[in-house]
Chain A
């Protein structure tokens, strides 16, 4: 190993898998070996059985679908509002001066603390879940995009001006394309956070979703199901991250060239 030396893609996969092997081995050692009580932590086999039971008999697929739709819905709502606002803030300093103090303040409001208030306003239906995710993501995205757009290379902007670009052209043909990969990266990052908000939203006053299943299992002390639920969240996250990355690479080939 030397600093910054690259690994081959085969090695990368092998190392990545090795971690999970080590992880499951430690888990098995702790549970099968009897070092941890069953009440607190199910062993891997029980977890797999419980998971199968959830999927085959208890309609867990429906819960997964609900959770995914909430994340995607709330996140899309946030993105639709946040991307244009963030770009405007980054491009126009007066807009930034107007909105930045509020957005910076709102960014620190924990989305989960809004849940009781949102239940009061929007009930315990889908709208409330979407709003939790929306509040949790929208301010973060606005601010991060504003910073990215504001940091566009000045020399590129100047070059565009000397080529006859006007303000609209600068935004559409310089600021946007130069920040687009960063914007996609920001969305990928915040989508990950949206997953935490959705589970929290589902833990309280919900009748479906992965978070709801986890609360139910907790009442029955079924740690196998809880762990299975958590692993499913992780896997979906991993998958969506992977797809997002592949999509970004396909969208912005000039970065890798």
Chain B
């Protein structure tokens, strides 16, 4: 059983060079249960990455705390796998070695590492690219490797920060199906950040809408669409209805940002 609790977590970046301090995140509460797939949706700059980094332990909250199964998060660890917004494969390692990075750190034997890595390589559809270097991969392949790398570590919760943000629409749709397929099969607890409304609905069991800066949870919508979901679901009336609702929510927030600017 995995329970992630975010309790009254806020983050203010201190003033620099005479600028006022940046309030990136208002005190936020969030509970994610076992095998939940929660998507966080919000306009650019609303503190989505900040929240995810705090959960990952890469950043410290100004107030509040994060607990995973009752244990307070004080730093990064293998129990919270992360896929970053930017490409973060280790350029000096091959696809297989990248995926096995965490296993090797834990002292898993090479034969065992390769077995696990190869299984994930198949899952994300990268067979034949085991010995390629990241430079030789397309953006989509790099993010698939990054997802496999995080999964191979078997974390309690998977954190994804707009992993498909830089991909074209076709590739992105395929990647969404791949990720959802893995989740439907293996059941994982997932926290997925995006600014793409369709993506948030298609993947999530719950969509959390965040307000413009300073970030705050503005609404929470349960997505009751049945699993397994195929891409065809995106054109069903239920899906479209949810989308319309979220478009409204997001639009008001995006407008706030432009008015402030």
Using a CB–CB cutoff of 8 Å, the interface residues on chain A facing chain B are 153, 155-156, 158-166, 169, 173-174, 177-178, 180, 252-255, 257
Q: Measured between alpha carbons, how far is A174 from B153 in the docked complex, in Å? A: 17
Q: Measured between alpha carbons, how far is A254 from B137 in the docked complex, in Å? A: 12
Is B136's beta carbon under 8 Å from chain A?
A: yes
Asked if A164 meets B102 with Cβ closer than 8 Å, knowing A155-B84, A177-B92, A254-B91, the reply is yes
Asked if A257 meets B58 with Cβ closer than 8 Å, knowing A156-B90, A165-B105, the reply is no
Using a CB–CB cutoff of 8 Å, the interface residues on chain B facing chain A are 56-58, 75-78, 80-82, 84, 86, 88, 90-93, 101-102, 104-106, 132-136, 149-150, 153, 159
A254 engages B78 (CB within 8 Å): no
Write 12 A-B pairs (CB below 8 A) sorted by A numbering.
A153-B88, A158-B58, A159-B90, A161-B58, A161-B75, A161-B76, A164-B106, A166-B105, A177-B92, A253-B133, A254-B93, A257-B133
Asked if A163 meets B105 with Cβ closer than 8 Å, knowing A155-B86, A156-B88, the reply is yes
Complex: chain B residue closest to A162, CB-CB: B82
Q: Within 8 Å CB of A153, what residues of B? A: 88
Q: Within 8 Å CB of B136, what residues of A? A: 257
Asked if A254 meets B84 with Cβ closer than 8 Å, knowing A162-B76, A164-B102, A164-B106, the reply is no
Q: Within 8 Å CB of B93, what residues of A? A: 177, 254
Q: Measured between alpha carbons, how far is A257 from B56 in the docked complex, in Å? A: 32
State the main secondary structure of chain A at its contact with B.
helix
Asked if A163 meets B101 with Cβ closer than 8 Å, knowing A158-B58, A178-B91, A254-B133, the reply is yes
State the main secondary structure of chain B at its contact with A.
loop
- Minimum Cβ distance to chain B for residue A249 (Å): 14
Asked if A173 meets B101 with Cβ closer than 8 Å, knowing A155-B86, A159-B88, A164-B106, the reply is yes
A158 engages B133 (CB within 8 Å): no
Partner of B81, one of A162, A166, A169, A252: A162
- Minimum Cβ distance to chain A for residue B6 (Å): 17
A164 engages B77 (CB within 8 Å): yes
Which of A173, A252, A254, A255 is packed against the most chain B CB atoms within 10 Å?
A254
Q: Within 8 Å CB of B153, what residues of A? A: 163-164
Q: Within 8 Å CB of B101, what residues of A? A: 160, 163, 165, 173
